[in-house]
């Protein structure tokens, strides 16, 4: 089915049939029964868990989820996603975030504000702070417990070496008056992680220190997140009962609502004051369907809950579509590699000319099909569309 949908569009066919783009797609049909209960039927195109891709900012979703879960597991009175968080330093390549009030500002350092920044505009600084809050070993151990043993989240988005990324900062939480509520020391992962795929070398050359090195780039100790895993993680947040209980993190109903809102909200919709500028347009991180074009008006009847990645020539979007106009819904995940010259880190990638137009066309193709697809029962989307802004 997915093959036939792709091959009715010339642009999609040209990319999909060229192995240089390393395309992987998961298209999940959702069908409801008379009680509005969903079932999920995935269709895949060239899905290959043995084919490495750099997940880039896709890792921000599991980090956001597990940061909220950690707050719940700490069970410390006064420590919530709205509590002021300070970050210290204890090793090289660490940066501090000292205590600063007030707690109610969008700019205040809190777990909740870091998650908003990650989900709204894919903020790397915010990701680093929550990676450090979790710690490399606990973060990956918990992902394995949740059913993702091949996931590896091992790096900050900063020029830190492998050893420095194994060291994470001391963290503390404070009242608005500056009193310490909770403190935990710096953490160290004594056993380094490597890729479950073995040694991973990509490209014909890479750039480092301002010069081209004629050797492949080594991703062996880099972040690794299979497309099926991040798809299931998104599904587990939107439809918790659709995954086994062992794959559900310890989140409250408020946590789920919070994540759902910021997964779909655009920077301008969010009410987040820092993102009220033209720089952060509505399609800023909605690659599937909008292709990150600032000139395309946002479709109010189409809500997209998603997480994206863009780095090293890899371009990804993992999304759930809810269309209130046509009463349709589906999930769509895609990753492709757009690096014609084969040089990693030179910044010369075909994101705008090939990758983003492809993802936009793919989203349109599936959305148009889903709008007309026969169903026994059209979904009642009232519950999932009812989310309001949550602090």
Q: How far apart are CA 54 and CA 343, in angstroms?
A: 14
What is the pTM (predicted TM-score) of this model? 0.97
**In whole angstroms, how large is the CA radius of gyration of the chain?**
21
> What pLDDT is recorded for position 103?
61
Whether the bond into 102 is cis, omega within 30 of 0 = yes
User: pLDDT of 332-386, one tens digit each?
Assistant: 999 999 999 999 999 999 999 999 999 999 999 999 999 999 999 999 999 888 8
Q: How far apart are CA 23 and CA 2, in angstroms?
A: 13
* C-alpha of 102 from chain center: 28
> What pLDDT is recorded for position 283?
86
- Other C-beta atoms closer than 10 Å to the C-beta of 18 total 12
Q: Which residue has the tokens 């909220």?
A: 68
Q: How far apart are CA 45 and CA 365, in angstroms?
A: 15
> What pLDDT is recorded for position 325?
93
Tokens, residue 296: 């395309």
Q: Which residue has the tokens 């940061």?
A: 67
Per-residue pLDDT of the chain (391 residues; tens, 9 = 90+): 898 999 999 989 999 999 999 999 999 999 999 999 999 999 999 999 999 999 999 999 999 999 999 999 999 999 999 999 999 999 999 999 999 877 668 889 999 999 999 999 999 999 999 999 999 999 999 999 999 999 999 999 999 999 999 999 999 999 999 999 999 999 999 999 999 999 999 999 999 888 999 999 999 999 999 999 999 999 999 999 999 999 999 999 999 999 999 999 988 888 887 787 778 888 889 999 999 888 777 778 999 999 999 999 999 999 999 999 999 999 999 999 999 999 999 999 999 999 999 999 999 999 999 999 999 999 999 988 887 777 7
Query: Which residues, in sequence order, are bridge partners of residue 344?
Result: 206
DSSP state of 284: T
Residues of the chain by 3-state class (helix, strand, coil), percent to 5: 35, 20, 45
Q: How far apart are CA 228 and CA 158, in angstroms?
A: 26
Three-class secondary structure of residue 63 per DSSP: helix
Q: How far apart are CA 51 and CA 102, in angstroms?
A: 46
Q: Euclidean distance between the first and final Cα of the chain, in Å?
A: 41
Q: Which residue has the tokens 């606990």?
A: 138
Domains of the chain listed by start with CATH number: 2-385 (3.40.710.10)
Sheet holding 205-208, edge to edge: 211-213, 205-208, 343-344
Q: How far apart are CA 293 and CA 283, in angstroms?
A: 6
User: pLDDT of 196-218, one tens digit each?
Assistant: 999 999 999 999 888 999 999 99
What number of H helices and E strands is found in the chain? Answer: 12, 15
> What pLDDT is recorded for position 317?
98
Contacts of 312 (CB under 8 A, 6+ apart): 54, 56, 202, 217, 339, 344, 345
């Amino acid at each position: 089915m997915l093959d036939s949908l792709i091959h009715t569009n010339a642009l999609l066919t040209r990319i999909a049939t060229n192995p240089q783009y390393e395309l992987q797609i998961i298209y999940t049909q959702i069908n409801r029964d008379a009680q509005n209960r969903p079932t999920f039927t995935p269709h895949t195109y060239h899905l290959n868990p043995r084919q490495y891709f750099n997940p880039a900012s896709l890792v921000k979703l599991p980090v956001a989820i597990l940061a909220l879960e950690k707050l719940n597991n700490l069970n410390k009175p006064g420590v919530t996603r709205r509590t002021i968080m300070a970050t210290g330093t204890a090793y090289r390549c660490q940066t501090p975030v000292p205590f600063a009030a007030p707690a109610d500002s969008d700019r205040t350092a809190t777990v909740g504000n870091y998650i908003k920044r990650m989900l709204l505009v894919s903020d790397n600084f915010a990701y680093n702070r929550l990676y450090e809050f979790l710690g490399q070993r606990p973060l990956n151990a918990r992902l394995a417990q949740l059913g993702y043993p091949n996931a590896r989240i091992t790096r900050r988005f900063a020029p830190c070496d492998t050893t420095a990324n194994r060291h994470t900062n001391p963290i503390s939480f404070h009242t608005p008056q500056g009193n310490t509520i909770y403190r935990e020391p710096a953490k160290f992962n004594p056993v380094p992680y490597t890729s479950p795929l073995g040694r991973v070398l990509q490209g014909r050359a890479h750039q480092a220190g301002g010069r081209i090195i004629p050797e492949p780039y080594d991703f062996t100790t880099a972040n690794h997140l299979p497309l099926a895993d991040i798809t299931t993680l998104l599904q587990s947040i939107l439809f918790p009962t659709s995954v086994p209980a062992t794959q559900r993190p310890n989140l409250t109903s408020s946590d789920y609502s919070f994540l759902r809102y910021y997964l779909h909200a655009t920077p301008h919709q969010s009410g987040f004051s820092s993102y009220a500028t033209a720089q952060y347009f509505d399609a800023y991180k909605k690659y599937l369907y909008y292709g990150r074009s600032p000139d395309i008006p946002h479709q109010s009847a189409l809500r997209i809950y998603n997480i994206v990645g863009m780095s090293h020539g890899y371009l990804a979007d993992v999304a759930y579509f809810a269309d209130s106009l046509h009463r349709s819904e589906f999930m769509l995940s895609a990753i492709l590699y757009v690096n014609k010259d084969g040089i990693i880190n030179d910044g010369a990638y075909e994101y705008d000319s090939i990758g983003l137009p492809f993802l936009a066309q793919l989203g349109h193709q599936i959305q148009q099909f889903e709008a007309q697809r026969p169903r026994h029962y059209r979904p009642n989307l009232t519950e999932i569309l009812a989310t309001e802004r949550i602090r």
